[in-house]
C-alpha cells in the first residue's frame, strides 16, 4: 500500500518522528543514525503549521522525552521481564538496546511507521541478535491484530506504552484496556505506562522552565501537538490532568481500569529516573525543582484485577474432611478442615489437577487453622502441588499437632510455613 495513504489515514504517525529527532539531539548515536537514514530535519519534526519551537519548549520536550524513555527502561529492568512489547515503538532505537541485553523485543506500531522503521533499525542490529527482534504493524484497538503479532511470544510480557493514550477517545482507551487484559491473561506479565499522568508530569516539568511565560509556552505546546496529530488530545478517562480535582480524576482513572478488569500500582518517577542529559540545557535550580516535582508523578504498573473464582468442592466432603477452594489470578486458595489422609488425599489431588488444567497456577496458599491431621498421603499431595507450581505451597494457621508432623517428616523445610 502507498505509504502516503497510510500516513493520511493515521496522522499521529508524524509525532513518532519528533521523538527520534529529539533523542538524536540529546546525543543518542543510534537515534542520530536513524535520523540520517530517514533524512529527517528539525523543521519537519519539531515545528508545526502554526507555531515554531521556542528554546523553552525544546528544553521541555527533551526533558519529557528523556524522562519517559529512560525511566521506563529503568523500571522495567527493576521489575524484570522476559519479553518487552513496545507499543507504539515508533522510530526509536530501543530494539537495539533491548536485544543487546539478550531480551526478546516486539516493536508494534501503525503500519506506516513499521514500513519505514523496520528496515532501518534491523540494519543496525548485530546479525546474531536479529532473531530476538520482531516488528509488526497493528492497530492497538484491534485485539486480533495484537494477538496475531504476539502469537509466538513467550511470557511474561512487559507491555510499554508512551504517548499513546493521549490520542484516544474513551471508547478507544477502553478497547486498548480490553486488549491488554486479553494479552496479560494469555501471556502473563504487566503493562507499564506513563500515559495516565503524562499531562500532570508535563505541567510540573514546564513550571520551573517557563516561569512567567508558563501560559504562553503551554499554549504553544498544545497548538504544536494538535497540528502534528490532527486529533483532540488528552480527552479520555485515563488522562489525569492537573485541572480541577486531580485526586478525583486519579480515582476515576482507576475505576475506568477496574471496569475493564485491570488494576494499577503507581511507581514514583523521581525514585527511578536516571541522570538526564537534557538537564544540561537548563539551570541547576530548574533541574532540582523538576526532580522535586517528579515526586508527585508516577508511571503505572497495570496488572489483572484480583478475581476470586470459587471451586466446587461438594464432592470432596466427608464426615472427617471438608474443604473450601477458590482461584485468585494464578493462585489456588484452600481452606482445609479435619483430616487429610489416605481416604481424602486422592480426592484433594484430583481437585488440584482439575483446577490446574483450567488455570495457570503458580502457587497454592492453604489455611490450616481447622486442619486437625495430615498423613503421609496428604504430605505427598502437598509435595506434588509444590513441584507443579513455580512459587510453591504456603501454609498458614497450623496447630501444634500438624506442626509436629511437618517437623518429623522434614516438610517444615520443604514448604513455606507462615509463623
With bands split at pLDDT 50, 70 and 90, how would you rate the model's confidence at 48?
Answer: low
pTM for this predicted structure? 0.69
DSSP string, 183-238: HHHHH-EEEEESGGGHHHHHHHHHHHHHGGGHHHHHHHHHHHHHHHH-S-TT-STT
With bands split at pLDDT 50, 70 and 90, how would you rate the model's confidence at 5?
Answer: very low
Mean predicted confidence (pLDDT) in 213-236: 61
* CA-closest candidate to residue 166, choices 244, 222, 86: 222
* CA-closest candidate to residue 276, choices 32, 61, 51: 61
Say if residue 2's pLDDT is above 50: no
How far the first Cα of the chain sits from its last, in Å, is 64
CATH architecture of residue range(s) 308-417: 2-Layer Sandwich (3.30)
Paired with 326 in beta bridges are 310, 333
Q: Are the CB atoms for 277 and 27 separated by under 8 Å?
A: yes
Between CA 389 and CA 334 the distance in angstroms is 14
List the chain domain ranges.
3-304, 308-417
Q: Which residue has the higher pLDDT, 37 or 258?
A: 37
Mean predicted confidence (pLDDT) in 23-45: 85
Quick one: pLDDT at residue 54?
Answer: 67
Q: Are the CB atoms for 42 and 22 separated by under 8 Å?
A: no
Q: What is the residue-averaged pLDDT of the chain? A: 86
Paired with 364 in beta bridges are 332, 393
Fold: same for 3-304 and 308-417:
no
Segment 166-215, tens digit of pLDDT: 778 888 998 999 999 999 989 999 999 999 998 888 889 888 888 777 67
Quick one: pLDDT at residue 355?
Answer: 92
Segment 317-359, tens digit of pLDDT: 888 999 999 988 778 999 999 999 999 999 999 999 999 988 8
Q: Are the CB atoms for 113 and 142 separated by under 8 Å?
A: no
CATH topology of domain 3-304: Rossmann fold (3.40.50)
| 3-state class percentages of the chain: helix first, strand second, coil last, to nearest 5 | 55, 20, 30
Say if residue 223's pLDDT is above 70: no
* CA-closest candidate to residue 236, choices 167, 282, 330, 292: 167
Amino acid at each position: 500500500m502507498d505509504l502516503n495513504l497510510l500516513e493520511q489515514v493515521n496522522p499521529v504517525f508524524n509525532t513518532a518522528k519528533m521523538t527520534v529527532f529529539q533523542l538524536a539531539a540529546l546525543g543518542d548515536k543510534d537515534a542520530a543514525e536513524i535520523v540520517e537514514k530517514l533524512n529527517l530535519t528539525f523543521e519537519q519534526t519539531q515545528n508545526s503549521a502554526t507555531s515554531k519551537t521556542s528554546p523553552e519548549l525544546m528544553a521541555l520536550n527533551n526533558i519529557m522525552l528523556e524522562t519517559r524513555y529512560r525511566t521506563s527502561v529503568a523500571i522495567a529492568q527493576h521489575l524484570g521481564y522476559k519479553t518487552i512489547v513496545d507499543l507504539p515503538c515508533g522510530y526509536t532505537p530501543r530494539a537495539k538496546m533491548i536485544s543487546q541485553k539478550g531480551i526478546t523485543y516486539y516493536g508494534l506500531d501503525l503500519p506506516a511507521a513499521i514500513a519505514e522503521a523496520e528496515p532501518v533499525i534491523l540494519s543496525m542490529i548485530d546479525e546474531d541478535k536479529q532473531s530476538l527482534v520482531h516488528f509488526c504493524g497493528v492497530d492497538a484497538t484491534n485485539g486480533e491484530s495484537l494477538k496475531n503479532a504476539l502469537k509466538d511470544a513467550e511470557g511474561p510480557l512487559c507491555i510499554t506504552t508512551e504517548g499513546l493514550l493521549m490520542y484516544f477517545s474513551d471508547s478507544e482507551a477502553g478497547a486498548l484496556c480490553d486488549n491488554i487484559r486479553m494479552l496479560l491473561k494469555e501471556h502473563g506479565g504487566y503493562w507499564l505506562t506513563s500515559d495516565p499522568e503524562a499531562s500532570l508530569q508535563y505541567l510540573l516539568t514546564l513550571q520551573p522552565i517557563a516561569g512567567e511565560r508558563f501560559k504562553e509556552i503551554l499554549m504553544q505546546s498544545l497548538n504544536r501537538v494538535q497540528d502534528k496529530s490532527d486529533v483532540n488530545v488528552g480527552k479520555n478517562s485515563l488522562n489525569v490532568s492537573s485541572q480541577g480535582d486531580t485526586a478525583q480524576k486519579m480515582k476515576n482513572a482507576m475505576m475506568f481500569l477496574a471496569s475493564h478488569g485491570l488494576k494499577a500500582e503507581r511507581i514514583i518517577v523521581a525514585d527511578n529516573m536516571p541522570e538526564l542529559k537534557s538537564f544540561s540545557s537548563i539551570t541547576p535550580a530548574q533541574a532540582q525543582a523538576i526532580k522535586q516535582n517528579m515526586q508527585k508523578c508516577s508511571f503505572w504498573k497495570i496488572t489483572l484485577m484480583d478475581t476470586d473464582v470459587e471451586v466446587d468442592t461438594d464432592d470432596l466432603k466427608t464426615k472427617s474432611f471438608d474443604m473450601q477452594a477458590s482461584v485468585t489470578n494464578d493462585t489456588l486458595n484452600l481452606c482445609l478442615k479435619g483430616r487429610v489422609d489416605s481416604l481424602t488425599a486422592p480426592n484433594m489431588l484430583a481437585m488440584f489437577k482439575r483446577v490446574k488444567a483450567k488455570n495457570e497456577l503458580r502457587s497454592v496458599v492453604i489455611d490450616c487453622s481447622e486442619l486437625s491431621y495430615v498423613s503421609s498421603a496428604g504430605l505427598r499431595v502437598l509435595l506434588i502441588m509444590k513441584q507443579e507450581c513455580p512459587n510453591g505451597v504456603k501454609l498458614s494457621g497450623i496447630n501444634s499437632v500438624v506442626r509436629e508432623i511437618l517437623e518429623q517428616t522434614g516438610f517444615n523445610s520443604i514448604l513455606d510455613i507462615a509463623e
